[in-house]
Structure 1
Amino acid sequence: MEFRFSRMEKLLRGHRVRTVSVDGTPAEFVNDPALVRRILVKDGQNYGKGDLFQKARVLSKAGLLAQDDTLHRHYRRLAHPYLRPAAVTDHTPAMAQIARNAVASWRPGQAVDIQAQMCRTASAIALSTLFGGLPHTVSSVLGEHLATLSWEMIRKPLHGKAASRAQQQTTSQRLVKALADFRSLLASYIADADQLNPPDPTTDYLSALLSDTGRNGTPDLSTDQICGEAVMMLTAATVTTASVMSWALYVLSSHPLIEEKVLKDLAQTTGTDTPPAQAHGHEHGHGPPGYTMRFLTEVLRLYPPVWITCRKTLSNATLGDHTLPTGTHVLFSSYLLHRDPDRYPDPHRFDPDRWLSLRPTTQDASYIPFGTGARGCVGESFAWKELQILLGAVTQEWQLAIQPGTKVRAAADTTLHPRRLLMIPQPR
């Protein structure tokens, strides 16, 4: 099966569940939001991580990505203090300063590789906020390795002949080198820090990992596992943010009236606006979100970075009218769910104002850019704030235009991203 979305939409039309093949392996493709929610929430204990697409599991199989639910919950609780809304508020000044410094380095009329720049900026933000205890010199070098690693991860094919070819190409070699360099430097720092003094678990997420111990008082994770967990957390935060921001800036360059409304809203907002995904609706006294948040919500609807997900049944399961034996691969695509015409009229049209009356619902999975259920993204609050800050930093300083003679196409790799996005900045 090749993931050409128009072909998949035609193949799945009228089917809630349909058998497909991924690299010769049969799988059940679910295209019903209620059934997807059943997989992720109600019957979540019956489904484990699928292995048709490796994604981040090439980086780590411990901590948050552990197959065991008890371990996953443990490391989720460990990360939560540094990602909860109150902590995100504390992170905001650092995020804003890093974003301003990044865009200040751009030059009028000189093409900017937006995705590479967003990788570099998001890497610096992730390291500064989640691994803030690192010395500046270490953090700076790690940031460069992380930016390279993240950009290579974004472009990594997930399946098929393209994935096989990538293993032989320099892209894969650059990814492997960036990963090795990052882990080597971080492991060296951990070894030195351990000899000097014990880490304070309240400092940052890395210190919490280093301080985490099992019942017998010994560290739960080895240095190698901690490095893997650190790479996974930082890379996940970077690749998704970079992909979404690239699409956001592309959309603004293509829709001048939308750009004008975003600029006006950013000039008026206090930065406390609640995204639709976290609001509770008019019945609880909340008005509709501001235009910037509606804009970002629509970007995430049309261009969800985690565009496809694979699960595998851990026991015999029932899904609608289908009986799934143990070991059945189950797929679903947030890209397709987000373009369901029954939920979203004129689903391919970019319309932030659809979120004036529409709300993401907990009753199904028709809007899941951050997943849902027990394994939904632990960094959702962090992501919303970072996107808002990055959008403001770029658009209030620069007006961007697509480099003449280029056409922007979507690439469905590890994330859904523009295949190539060169933009020309001009001062506001």
Structure 2
Amino acid sequence: MSADGRSAAQPLAGIRVVEIASFVAAPLAGMTLRQLGAEVIRVDPLGGAADHHRWPLSADGESIYWTGLNKGKRSVAADLRAPAAQQLITRLITEGPAGGILLTNTAGRAWLDYDTLVRLRPDLIRVEILGRADGSTAVDYTVNAAIGFPLVTGPADHAEPVNQVLPAWDLLCGMYSALAIAAAVRHRDATGEGSRITLPLEDVALATAGNLGFLTEAMLCAAPRPRLGNAIYGQYGQHFHGADGTTFMVVALTPRHFRELADLTGTGKAVEALATALDADFTDEGTRYHHRDVLTGLFAPWFRERPGATIAAALARTSILWERYRTFHEVATDPRVTANPLFTPLRQPGVGTYLAPGAPASVNGEHTPSAPAPRLGADTATVLRELGLSPAAVTELLEAGVVATEI
């Protein structure tokens, strides 16, 4: 904490972000900004946006997904088609020294356009997440299909595309959006200028595929990238099964890792003989990758003959990179969660009490803990009063169905 009361962990304290969005990318961006100290007010239509009841659900029917991505925010619910509600939300976006920041993925609403809002707030920061740069729609699943990853994911002999469970493009897009807003705030503080920012989900995926070399490889090399199952392209890595059904991922990135793996499995002499027979230099990572199948055949028996506990104990005594495959249920009860200061007990109404993650980065040795997600519309009346509306005016709006609270 500095002399003026500012916290290094909350550098965005004093700014207000209005989030009008749904699903993953924008809500994640908003929650990230909240963890960095910003006040984030999520505005939803009456009854909630399309993601309000998205699975998984708690026993009480509350969306575990929704509460997970909206922790610590304030919630306003309004009839977004009503002119009176649009005027109030416009004021919420544009008024006040802390305001002037909109995060949205809602297209086609003229009253939320940059050109409309900037006339009221010249230093407006508006971040709009699009599906594609041309304005057409797309979601993580369709973007993923279009980029190429499902056709290099899965077993080597599998003919069908394999989607990834992790919504990688949504997550990256959310982080890029939060970074864009933080950078725009810095620019506004320095120059007084706002920013009009668009971030297409597909461009996030395309940029990532380019940065990682997937697209460059396709531009320069005729041969397509093969499916590898659980192997690692250009390196030696493979999964192995233990005698008791446990499965391990083992990665040998360096010559030392590889040498220790051969020593551990008692295959050192066999590996040397193989190197001689193939005229292969296994200190080279590309060579280890090209001969991965025959090397795996040498190492696999050692794993198959031992239970998981024995394998884990033996691997732990080496520098080899490894981990046992675990279920989410196993991870949730593991000390890496239960004894991790990243996680603190959180009582979420409608969901229960559980260990919730705060901000992953620790600042000066501490993580910013999570706060519960709001009930839909829980802050509507308070936020309207903060805009200067009288209690009578707020009551009139509630009775007219323009806004709602505690839905």
Q: TM-score if structure 2 supplies the norm length?
A: 0.23
Higher strand fraction (1 or 2)? 2
**Larger relative contact order (Cα-Cα within 8 Å, sequence gap ≥ 6):** 1
| Structure with larger Rg | 2
Higher helix fraction (1 or 2)? 1
